[in-house]
Amino acid sequence: MIRFECDYAEGAHPRILEALLKTNREQTSGYGEDIFCETAKKIIGLACGNSDMDVHFLVGGTQANITVISSILRPHQAVISADKGHIAEHETGAIEATGHKVIALPTEDGKITAKQVRQVVMEHFTDASQEHMPQPAMVYISHPTETGLLYTKQELTELSTVCRERKIPLYLDGARLGYGLAAPKNDVFMADLAKLCDVFYIGGTKVGAMFGEAVCIVNDKYKEDFRYHIKQRGGLLSKGRFLGIQFDTLFRDGLYLEISKTAVEQALRIKEAFKNGGCDFLYDSYTNQQFPILNRVVYSELSKLYSFSTWKKLEGERFAVRFVTSWATREENVDTLISDIKRLCKIYGDRPTNYEEAETEEN
Amino acid sequence: MIRFECDYAEGAHPRILEALLKTNREQTSGYGEDIFCETAKKIIGLACGNSDMDVHFLVGGTQANITVISSILRPHQAVISADKGHIAEHETGAIEATGHKVIALPTEDGKITAKQVRQVVMEHFTDASQEHMPQPAMVYISHPTETGLLYTKQELTELSTVCRERKIPLYLDGARLGYGLAAPKNDVFMADLAKLCDVFYIGGTKVGAMFGEAVCIVNDKYKEDFRYHIKQRGGLLSKGRFLGIQFDTLFRDGLYLEISKTAVEQALRIKEAFKNGGCDFLYDSYTNQQFPILNRVVYSELSKLYSFSTWKKLEGERFAVRFVTSWATREENVDTLISDIKRLCKIYGDRPTNYEEAETEEN
Amino acid sequence: MIRFECDYAEGAHPRILEALLKTNREQTSGYGEDIFCETAKKIIGLACGNSDMDVHFLVGGTQANITVISSILRPHQAVISADKGHIAEHETGAIEATGHKVIALPTEDGKITAKQVRQVVMEHFTDASQEHMPQPAMVYISHPTETGLLYTKQELTELSTVCRERKIPLYLDGARLGYGLAAPKNDVFMADLAKLCDVFYIGGTKVGAMFGEAVCIVNDKYKEDFRYHIKQRGGLLSKGRFLGIQFDTLFRDGLYLEISKTAVEQALRIKEAFKNGGCDFLYDSYTNQQFPILNRVVYSELSKLYSFSTWKKLEGERFAVRFVTSWATREENVDTLISDIKRLCKIYGDRPTNYEEAETEEN
Amino acid sequence: MIRFECDYAEGAHPRILEALLKTNREQTSGYGEDIFCETAKKIIGLACGNSDMDVHFLVGGTQANITVISSILRPHQAVISADKGHIAEHETGAIEATGHKVIALPTEDGKITAKQVRQVVMEHFTDASQEHMPQPAMVYISHPTETGLLYTKQELTELSTVCRERKIPLYLDGARLGYGLAAPKNDVFMADLAKLCDVFYIGGTKVGAMFGEAVCIVNDKYKEDFRYHIKQRGGLLSKGRFLGIQFDTLFRDGLYLEISKTAVEQALRIKEAFKNGGCDFLYDSYTNQQFPILNRVVYSELSKLYSFSTWKKLEGERFAVRFVTSWATREENVDTLISDIKRLCKIYGDRPTNYEEAETEEN
């Protein structure tokens, strides 16, 4: 069975393995204080056009979110997130476990707006009993979102503006950042993040690395003592060099963007196939996650051949599902998938424009 | 400069890298629910003579400690540790950050006794104001200890007995377990741990892996919902297969013990050299950590040639230091070190029994 | 200005002050281990028809909620509450500060149903990625609710049943319990709570006491070590006798119910007045909180004469407000209020059926 | 049996009860936003010669410690305390429950020195692996200490100086402050606290109040949002007026000092009696707690007549015990106690200089 269920089904990009092999017997200090990490930090600084920001490498995304958020908030403060945000839904209450409420803003598509943030903050600070409620003191977004969508530069700028007005940090979770940067409709670049966010992280795990996320702290205010927090939350890798080597590899010669682009191309081919098959989409994504809506038969038939996620059960026995590509997705597997989509939609699809042709093909 | 400062200065054992390469493009489920993890768990179960225990793979030691301890204790409960225990001294208050006090028992050498545990627990429960103090409800030990020492089977059995009498779990941190198992004086085997402890972990990071610790939950009482805790504490690796592959490799064909043995042999050669040079030791270790006491000149001269840790400044300008070997330590580097120890101790040592000979050799 | 903004605007019931005076110079042990607390616990046990339950006295409601909830949940577990529940909205994230997510169920009126609970729990445990989400492991309700409403015995029994089926505790916050017990439509008695809940608390602060809430632990499973939790959360009053004396007084000779009844009667008079004045209500309450909806003029005029809470701004410049009575509410103040309501509604009300009459009366 | 076991065995000072009675039916806002609290804050500001500091009223001492400490520290930071400090020993790990380690400095007598603080802080910040250890970031002392001792103005100034040098706050727990201020050897006044500390609290519970501690925040840096923390930790009393009324009463006409003085006088009479009886003392206290050392017979005989605390079992079957007086201690009870001490020490004391006389008296 071919897997399209996530972007971490395979190992690491071959160049990363190569780099690990090549450096394996060199001796370095532990805990990320080595030449590989140092170099990788510089390269990331260059890629972001900001050599002043602090870069720290952590192993995983939940760990990065826990460490960043808990290092910034005071106990009575809460972080604002989309209701579909990863910290709101899929981290087993990890943020709450550090003592903080996640204020989940209702969204249709997983994107929050500057207007929503402004309103929540204003409502809080104009309430006479404000101290009876957690204080909204940070904004968390992901780019792309959990729903595969992107913030435009305009939207991101507005979010940044309201955050600066209200003196609360903007934190961007870039677990799938590569796939956002490589999307045809994206107009947000890494240098923009290093200008508009206070903290953000560049995802490695889902974009070619064995593991690893690069936390970039732009705002000086949040730089102090960050390594204590990494250690306390269990995120300080003994053999930290492995993180440096991987990010060094990913950010040399444009590898990060190059492999992201391939993944997005394959995702868009899949999208096209579902579209041509007459499918609607839960979210109109141009990144590596695609959310077609399938009827029961197509859903069931595809399930026999591929692994993918069931995102949401809809009325009328329809299923919003998620197909995910990654840097490792093989073109031939996508070819097979597309041909199956074509075939199944023609026979069992909701709008089989050419039923006879389908019939014929089947024979 | 040759490094003897820690057991994580190099990469991973070549067989591990080989296994990673070989399996790199296979597709698996994420989060440790893959065939590699499944197999590795079985092999570890076999190695421990206990196929009923639950095995979970985590990335690092602090993470393992946080996750295990906080999953077991109720809020008012505390964990007992040696004052020199890793959780007591070197995890940035990670246990406290999950809400629990670490009750640090005073020790000379980092080892606690059943008698101490019994006394602390008894004193607590016979105190009329017991509810004004955190309740001692878990015992944490490491084997080998931070001081390179080992519990005998007798000592471990006594600790286990008092814990069972008092109905509190015994948790053993085996970050350097391999180097304990391979020590000439050790009489504690993995099957003993699986009988005497409620939970223990087998260290991978320091014993050949890139990263990884295998948490073994023996007592049924502590098995429930453990994966929730791993996720909440940020320890659920997306590409969990990498943990399975590594532990599978380490526990096949006795690799884990084999490479541990090499490391210990080199450590004992170093110990011998310091001993012959007239040095005393802070702790009498038979594992991969050695703690010779150096005078100022020898200390200073060795510092120019090797990196090692300064453990404790003693009276009379003497320094207790730590030399650590690992699976990756090269015999030729140890040869060089030994020859330097010999030379320096003869010239500058506190008890240069044969000064002329030293002189001659120098010429 | 006469206050109807809350049920804690005055001091304590005279009989309580009398009892405090009378016993003031007696010497007792501290921390609630005195004869007054002992007696009060017995009386409460009798009142609840359950002498086996544990009773503990705490100073305030948020403290009671923190202590009970955090003593029961394991770190990965969450508590289910109505979105309008006190713990969800008005405790500054106190539950999250102890590490737990509050799962807020959407409600129109602040009451949750057994069906909702069953669904949340079932959805969780049938999700393949359940460990990526906090585990629903407790149900919190208040009776009366924040919206002044009551659960029927039938509803409470259903909630209790689903909780027992799913082996999760049902916890009832009775901050205003007296005003619920005294409501004309109530069919839930204290003995029912002691049968259907695992833990509940009887509110004193809002029902005649200076301060104090009596936490009743019915289920043996949650009794162990509760005093440690009280102490740890800062709730163990040194002069604990003051809590015993107050609850002893409240539960002797039916005082608790008697004073609650008076408060509810006054509240219903106010309700009647608003109803007669043509007002709608946000919630149809029969307890001591009333939520009439006022137009801008009536709202503004009443604000000049009385203090009350603005609950919600509605469309069309209308305001849902809250008037609260208590054991201390003076009948003459309610008389004045009613006459003002009558007058203002007639002149400025939305449905002034008899405008002339109003005019005349003004003159 | 007469109680000398603690300073909270009786109720409240009569003037406080009187004030409560007098104001009982007045209506005020809740949560400490009333005229009584406002006035009390002003009076305390005057008493401390600092009208700029923020004053907040909390119910109890553990609550005050939790709220102050957790509002100031970031997650990776720890608070320094004497090993005998209340937060280190007798608050059930309440500080750890908010995520912070208590660094317990070893002391003979419960007092820490500026030198100790300087060393701990310096050692931390000169350690290359500092981020592997919690960062010492606050100093907690109590005055008087748990051992009944006082800091001199000189000692307090030195502690303040080192704290300011290292930019860490000095927090003083004044649970028994009155009894310190009233001690014959004391040279620290409230105005000194308001100059030398960043935060301190003035104890009410043990000095005449029913309950209540006044937290004084001197340093502007720690004032922001403090009421959120009070609410979150469960310390915001609904009927906050009761705290205002009590502190208003205590700080009018010098009542606080006056009643403290009486208690100390009685304590010193008891001290004198034990001294004359030939007893040694565990700590040489001039405050309301006295720590005589008794042999087994005297200990046993006194236990039959009085309740007091057994502080520490010493070698040779001797017992260090604690006798405590308070504002409520009756002179006649002290007379009786003194006469019993005299009698018992003469007969059974370790140094009965005049055995015959004792005999005679017995007859």
Query: C94-123: per-residue pLDDT in tens?
Result: 999 999 999 999 999 999 999 999 999 999
Helix B35-47 / helix B241-251 crossing angle, nearest 10 deg = 40
Q: What global pTM score does this model have?
A: 0.96
What average pLDDT does range C80-103 have in this prediction? Answer: 97
Contacts of D342 (CB under 8 A, 6+ apart): D273, D276, D277
CA distances from B213 to A94, A154, B23, B65, D47 (A): 21, 45, 20, 10, 59
Among the CATH numbers 3.40.640.10, 3.90.470.10, 3.10.110.10, 3.40.605.10, which is that of D2-255? 3.40.640.10
Task: Say yes or no for a CB contact (<8 Å) between C231 and B71.
Answer: no
Residues of chain D with Cβ-Cβ distance to B106 below 8 Å are: none
Query: A132-174: per-residue pLDDT in tens?
Result: 999 999 999 999 999 999 999 999 999 999 999 999 999 999 9
Q: Is B225 at the interface with chain C, CB within 8 A?
A: yes
B138, B172 Cβ separation under 8 angstroms: no
C219, C53 Cβ separation under 8 angstroms: no
The domains spanning C7-255 and C257-362 adopt the same CATH topology: no
d(CA B194, CA B215): 11
| Whether CATH 3.30.750.24 fits B12-255 | no
Nearest to C232 among B76, B98, B231 (CB): B76
Among the CATH numbers 2.40.10.10, 3.90.76.10, 3.90.1150.10, 3.30.420.40, which is that of A259-362? 3.90.1150.10
Query: C228-242: per-residue pLDDT in tens?
Result: 999 999 999 999 999
Task: Say yes or no for a CB contact (<8 Å) between A236 and B62.
Answer: yes
Nearest to D100 among B75, B91, B96 (CB): B96
Query: A255-313: per-residue pLDDT in tens?
Result: 999 999 999 999 999 999 999 999 999 999 999 999 999 999 999 999 999 999 999 99
Using pLDDT thresholds of 50, 70 and 90, give the confidence band for residue A185: confident
Helical residues (DSSP H) of chain D, grouped into ranges? 14-23, 35-47, 61-72, 86-89, 94-97, 114-125, 153-165, 177-181, 190-196, 226-232, 241-251, 255-276, 296-305, 331-348, 355-362
d(CA D345, CA D275): 10
**In whole angstroms, how large is the CA radius of gyration of chain C?**
22
Percent of chain B at pLDDT exceeding 70: 96
Q: Return per-residue pLDDT of chain D as tens, 363 residues.
A: 899 999 999 999 999 999 999 999 999 999 999 999 999 999 999 999 999 999 999 999 999 999 999 999 999 999 999 999 999 999 999 999 999 999 999 999 999 999 999 999 999 999 999 999 999 999 999 999 999 999 999 999 999 999 999 999 999 999 999 999 999 989 999 999 999 999 999 999 999 999 999 999 999 999 999 999 999 999 999 999 999 999 999 999 999 999 999 999 999 999 999 999 999 999 999 999 999 999 999 999 999 999 999 999 999 999 999 999 999 999 999 999 999 999 999 999 887 554 444 444 444
Closest CA to D211 of C59, C206, C244, C175: C59
Which residue of D lies nearest to B311 if distances are taken between CA atoms? D127
**In whole angstroms, how large is the CA radius of gyration of chain D?**
22
Task: Say yes or no for a CB contact (<8 Å) between D93 and B134.
Answer: yes
Residues of chain D with Cβ-Cβ distance to A232 below 8 Å are: 75-76, 134
Buried b / exposed e across B233-258, counting CB within 10 Å, b at 16+?
bbbbbbbbbbbbbbbbbbbeeebbbe
The domain covering C257-362 belongs, at the CATH homologous superfamily level, to Aspartate Aminotransferase, domain 1 (3.90.1150.10)
d(CA A233, CA A216): 17
Query: A186-225: per-residue pLDDT in tens?
Result: 999 999 999 999 999 999 999 999 999 999 999 999 999 9
Closest CA to B234 of A208, A227, C78, C132: C132
Using pLDDT thresholds of 50, 70 and 90, give the confidence band for residue C185: confident
Q: List the domain boundaries for chain D.
A: 2-255, 261-362
B169, B196 Cβ separation under 8 angstroms: no
Residues of chain D with Cβ-Cβ distance to B126 below 8 Å are: none
**Distance from the D6 Cα atom to the nearest Cα atom in chain B, whole angstroms:** 13
Percent of chain A at pLDDT exceeding 90: 95
CB pairs under 8 A between B and D: 56
d(CA C231, CA B78): 15
Which positions 95-134 of A are in contact with C (Cβ < 8 Å)?
96-102, 129, 131-134
**CA geometry: angle A27, A29, A35, nearest 5 deg:** 80
| Whether CATH 3.40.50.10540 fits B260-362 | no
pLDDT attached to residue A350: 81
- What number is the ipTM of this complex? 0.95
Query: A237-267: per-residue pLDDT in tens?
Result: 999 999 999 999 999 999 999 999 999 999 9
Contacts of C144 (CB under 8 A, 6+ apart): C150, C176, C177, C179, C180, C183, C285, C287, C289
A133, A111 Cβ separation under 8 angstroms: no
Torsion of CA B251, B252, B258, B264, to 10 degrees: -10
Task: Say yes or no for a CB contact (<8 Å) between A71 and D74.
Answer: yes
Mean pLDDT of chain A: 95
**CA geometry: angle B127, B132, B134, nearest 5 deg:** 90
Q: Is A26 at the interface with chain B, CB within 8 A?
A: yes
What are the φ/ψ torsions at residue A45 (nearest 5 degrees)?
A: -55, -45
**Distance from the B17 Cα atom to the nearest Cα atom in chain C, whole angstroms:** 30
CB pairs under 8 A between A and C: 56
Report the topology of domain C7-255.
Answer: Aspartate Aminotransferase; domain 2 (3.40.640)
Closest CA to B94 of B56, B59, B67, B133: B67
**Distance from the B354 Cα atom to the nearest Cα atom in chain D, whole angstroms:** 38
Instruction: Give the best residue of B96, B129, B130, B225 to mutate against chain C (max C CB count within 10 A).
Output: B225
Q: Is D195 at the interface with chain C, CB within 8 A?
A: no
**Distance from the A232 Cα atom to the nearest Cα atom in chain D, whole angstroms:** 7
Q: Is B231 at the interface with chain C, CB within 8 A?
A: yes
Task: Say yes or no for a CB contact (<8 Å) between B100 and D92.
Answer: no
Contacts of D349 (CB under 8 A, 6+ apart): D277, D278, D279, D295, D298
How many distinct helices (H) and strands (E) make up chain B? 15, 13
Whether C205 has a pLDDT exceeding 90, the answer reads yes
- CA–chain centroid gap for C147, Å, is 9
Which residue of D lies nearest to C2 if distances are taken between CA atoms? D27
Whether B353 has a pLDDT exceeding 90, the answer reads no
**Distance from the D120 Cα atom to the nearest Cα atom in chain B, whole angstroms:** 14
Task: Say yes or no for a CB contact (<8 Å) between A232 and B59.
Answer: no
d(CA D132, CA A232): 8
d(CA A183, CA C330): 69
Q: SS3 string of chain C?
A: CEECCCCCCCCCCHHHHHHHHHHCCCCCCCCCCCHHHHHHHHHHHHHCCCCCCEEEEECCHHHHHHHHHHHHCCCCEEEEEECCCHHHHCCCCHHHHCCCCEEEECCCCCCCCHHHHHHHHHHHHCCCCHHHCCEEEEEEEECCCCCCCCCCHHHHHHHHHHHHHCCCCEEEEECCHHHHHCCCCCCCCHHHHHHHCCEEEEECCCCCCCCCEEEEECCHHHCCCHHHHHHHCCCCCCCCHHHHHHHHHHHCCCHHHHHHHHHHHHHHHHHHHHHHCCCCECCCCCCCEECEEEEHHHHHHHHHHEECEEEEEECCCEEEEEEECCCCCCHHHHHHHHHHHHHHHHHHCCCCCCHHHHHHHHC
d(CA C165, CA C38): 34
Q: Is C60 at the interface with chain D, CB within 8 A?
A: yes
Q: Give the type of residue at C257.
A: L
> Among A345-359, B285-299, C3-17, where is mean pLDDT lowest?
A345-359
Query: A95-104: per-residue pLDDT in tens?
Result: 999 999 999 9
| Whether CATH 3.90.1150.10 fits D261-362 | yes
Using pLDDT thresholds of 50, 70 and 90, give the confidence band for residue C352: low
Percent of chain C at pLDDT exceeding 90: 95
Whether B299 has a pLDDT exceeding 50, the answer reads yes
**CA geometry: angle B35, A309, A280, nearest 5 deg:** 155
Residue A195 CB: number of other CB atoms within 10 A? 15
**Distance from the A201 Cα atom to the nearest Cα atom in chain D, whole angstroms:** 21
Whether B362 has a pLDDT exceeding 80, the answer reads no
Q: Is A225 at the interface with chain D, CB within 8 A?
A: yes
What average pLDDT does range C191-206 have in this prediction? Answer: 98
Using pLDDT thresholds of 50, 70 and 90, give the confidence band for residue B352: low
**Distance from the B229 Cα atom to the nearest Cα atom in chain C, whole angstroms:** 6
> Among B183-192, B248-257, B260-269, D348-357, where is mean pLDDT lowest?
D348-357
Task: Say yes or no for a CB contact (<8 Å) between D131 and A225.
Answer: yes
CA distances from A223 to A175, A200, B84, D136 (A): 21, 12, 30, 18
